[in-house]
Structure 1
Amino acid sequence: MHSTKSAVFLLALAISASCVVATPHLEILNDVFEAFNTTGQQIISGLVDATKNGTAIAGEFLDSIRNSSAQYTHETVEFAHKIADAVHRAATEGISDFSEALRAAIDRLHQEIDRVRNILQRQALKDALAKLQTINAAVTDLEIAVNNLNDRIDEKKEQYSLIIQEKWSQWGDAQLKRVDEQTNGVGNEEAEEILDELVSRYSAYLHSCLEELQAQQASYEQNVHEAVVKYHNATNNLAAQIELCTESNLNFLSCSYGINRALRGLASAPADLISLKLQGIRLLAIGLNASGCVGQTLAQHELEKPSVERELDEIIRSYQEQNSSTDDDSNSDNETTTVSEESS
């Protein structure tokens, strides 16, 4: 149920992103919605209906997910992955656009400050420059944190794939070879079923660990996107006010007042952006090092291997007993034939 739970969370996140935030950057989700099939559209409709009244996702809708077919669940999880990718792209593109707007505003201020003669007006522009430079540094750090989180998660996905391929598959191949050699191939089919079930089950456990982390990452990146959009808009307001000061005939008092008022919209930006950066670092540490989900799964697999080996031993033992019984019957028949011939 882990996979479905994470998928439902990501679907709810998509509803929030597309219906509540409704910013141009998240229009990328429209392509994801349109590309999904009828089953996916039913899932989305269920989530929309369940959240219309401002309540949590309806219990009966969760029950329908919980009791759904394997195909239904697979499609839900597949769609959740697409949503997570779309949210990541929206966050990174939003940061990039914000950085570009900040640099443009900073360059403009550098050009205009020396041209302004009024001391109060020049000071207002300097205050704006200092604030934007501080925000720009915080955005750069945030961008690094977001990209690092995504890159490390991708690295872990590859690492777990190698674990499955190298350790689990090699062990499974060795066990199958053992059964093949000691049963002359008779026990191969039964052994393959046992080994395939083990690998499939623990592969699903590992993917579940990653999906939980992916859901947390998507939630984090949604928060990043909302903050970036908020402060990008505030930066645009400040840039417009700076243009009024430098291009129009505003007196220095109106200019200073307008800039200071626009700066209030950015007052909390440095602290909020730094906080988001730290959240990303903590999520990376918790998700990849401290959660224990993957480590527990790998340890459980190691603990279960002896039990599987005993099942395979039983296949070998059963074959050998049956083969021994056949040999005994054959020897008995030969002895009976020999006695009959001697009597004749």
Structure 2
Amino acid sequence: TLGKTDSLNQLWINLFKDTDSQSNIEKILKIAFDTELFLTPQVAIIIDELVRKGKEDSISILFPYIMKPLNEVLPIIHRWFTDYNNNQIKKLAALLLTEAKHVFEAAIDAITDLLKSDNDQMRYRAQRIFQHPERDVREPRKRISVIGEKTLMKILKNRSTKEHLPRVQTYLKTFFHDLLWDDPKVFQGLYENVTKLREKNSADGRRMFFFNDIQFINNDVWNSIMQTLQSPSHASYVEELFHSTMSLMRNDQITGENWNEFAKVLSGTDTSQFKEKLYFVSNDITTMEFILNEVCGSTNMSDETYFEIFELKLITQTAVKIEDLLQIGVALY
């Protein structure tokens, strides 16, 4: 209402006059929790002046709740990103710009860093940029993200050249897999760029995995994958796709005909270069049920040979060698 707006405007003015007033900041935070803190021109000017005066630390507690900037304040936000090296205002600027669909490569490092932020609100907003939670993965009617292909490549390079926390690596990995399923054109572009990136980084001996855990797929993306395999492919790329194909097969995402198509490629590949030698043929739930049944049904787990026997049984009953898999693959259906 108008009264609430006037009250909030006055609180921002009071903040400009006295950044040390804890009660004033608490009142603004309460409004943020109850509704939202829009970045109006007046608020942007106040924040800009306070940051210039070195008062950023005093007001940074409000940053996670500031959102939805009006178009006329975007130049100010962009200046926050380009002119300040201070982490907090720069990350807020990157977040606001990308949320407003002004996505550019230079902001990606800041957004990726926010994925490991201790602040839940900032981390959640960063995640929404990559992958909107309201998207239905069963019906990919729209793009998973506002991020374009050029910026996607920036994330790809960021992921392959920088060390990230495991949870950040996992999140980026999941994002890529969903994106690959959504868009065959993106898959094709990603494949071409990954190939170049691998050639460039081959000297350091570090293996990069991008296509080894695709969980969902449609016909268009499957056809795009098979198209990339028409030309001679490095064994490591085929092995990655083999892992994905096994997962897709176990979860009924591909048909027996699809498997036969991939098996032809596999039979012409030097599988001796593959890192893994054994592969589970059952889905994760079935494998876990087997393990639990064996453990719960055992009466003597203290025997030194127990785990050796258990491991052998697990391998023989739930896993196969690749050469055997090529022969029995169709029978798995």
Structure ranking higher in helix proportion: 1
Class of the TM-score when normalised by the shorter of the 2 chains? under 0.3
TM norm structure 1: 0.19
Higher RCO (Cα < 8 Å, 6 or more apart): 1
Flag the structure with larger Rg: 1
TM norm structure 2: 0.19
